[in-house]
Amino acid sequence: MQKELWGVMAKCGERDIPLGVTQVRDLGGAVFREAMSRIAASVHIVTTDGLAGLAGITATAVAPITLEPPMMLFCINKTSPSAERMIENGVFCINTLTGAQETLADIFAGRTGHRLGERFTHGEWTKLVTGSPVLRGAAAAFDCRLAEAKEVTTHFIMIGAVEAVDFGKEASSLTYAHRKYGTM
């Protein structure tokens, strides 16, 4: 692919990146990161509990796969201690956050220094079928049994069979785009 620089630059953190077509390798991923920041996403907290222990992270890399049977996926960095616990427990719950749950999103993103089980001292938690923590007041919760953990370079794609779904009364969605939270 021809690299076209149109002389127009965009601010990307500390550096300027060119607008227009750029091969990702030319800027060590900065262009890809900038492009990804423009994908407006819903924010979720993915949790697990079981013999390996309690864990949870904030995630936007979440997607439904099939309706029948109901299956969903999310992607987690292999270095996260939560990944190992999710695989060992064999269960996870995708809690889709409302606009009022931004503080919890920061806690489960590790921005407040809380680790693993400590994160659950915030928020009100219950369980459905698999035993994974379900956040009270979440817009929706998808309680899943792990069907497959597929390793893709730095991440695992966790594929889950949905065993139960719960809805909150509050239907607003916490979003993340342009490196900022928003509400829809």
Ligand X SMILES: Cc1cc2nc3c(=O)[nH]c(=O)nc-3n(C[C@H](O)[C@H](O)[C@H](O)COP(=O)(O)O)c2cc1C
Q: Could you say which of 42, 47, 48, 58 contacts ligand X (CB under 6 A)?
A: 58
Q: Could you say which of 12, 52, 61, 164 contacts ligand X (CB under 6 A)?
A: 61
Q: What is the amino acid identity at position 177?
A: A
Nearer to ligand X among residue 12 and residue 41 (C-beta):
41
Q: Is 45 in the site for ligand X (CB under 6 A)?
A: no
Q: Could you say which of 48, 82, 95, 101 contacts ligand X (CB under 6 A)?
A: 82
| Distance of alpha carbon 22 from alpha carbon 88, whole angstroms | 41
Q: Is 95 in the site for ligand X (CB under 6 A)?
A: no
Q: Is 103 in the site for ligand X (CB under 6 A)?
A: no
| Number of neighbouring beta carbons within 10 Å of residue 1 | 6
**Piece of the chain touching ligand X by CB under 6 A; list 28-36, 57-65, 124-132, 160-168:** 57-65
| Distance of alpha carbon 130 from alpha carbon 96, whole angstroms | 17
Q: Could you say which of 3, 39, 81, 177 contacts ligand X (CB under 6 A)?
A: 81
94 phi/psi in degrees, rounded to 5: -95, 110
CA dihedral (116, 85, 148, 72) positive or negative: negative
| Distance of alpha carbon 46 from alpha carbon 43, whole angstroms | 10
Closest CA to 93 of 136, 138, 145, 139: 145
Nearer to ligand X among residue 31 and residue 83 (C-beta):
83
Footprint of ligand X on this chain (CB under 6 A)? Answer: 43, 57-61, 75-77, 80-82, 108-110, 176
